[in-house]
Amino acid sequence: KNLMDDVDLVEKLQLRADVVAAMTKNLDQREARLMRLRYGLNDGKTRSIRDCAEAMGISRARAQQLAAGCLKKLREADDAESL
């Protein structure tokens, strides 16, 4: 392993921490859970909208609506420029 691999890992971890912080600040618990599931922020495993919906006990259509709303909120957040 070389230094660049370590730098890349640190950058990825920092970006993930920044994204999670932005989610915590701008999304409610259910929205944040959906984003963590969808993009694998807890376990590194991304999931389909259908899988997220099943895990959360909501319809696929509702999960899609929530996901779209979450992304809009995050894009419009005051701290989004830093991401």
Q: Could you tell me which of 18, 36, 24, 8 has the C-alpha nearest to residue 73?
A: 24
How does DSSP classify residue 78?
T
Give the pTM: 0.78
* pLDDT 10s digits, 22-62: 898 999 999 999 999 999 988 989 999 999 999 999 999 99
Give the span between the Cα atoms of 41 and 1, in whole angstroms. Answer: 24
Q: Is the pLDDT of residue 80 over 70?
A: no
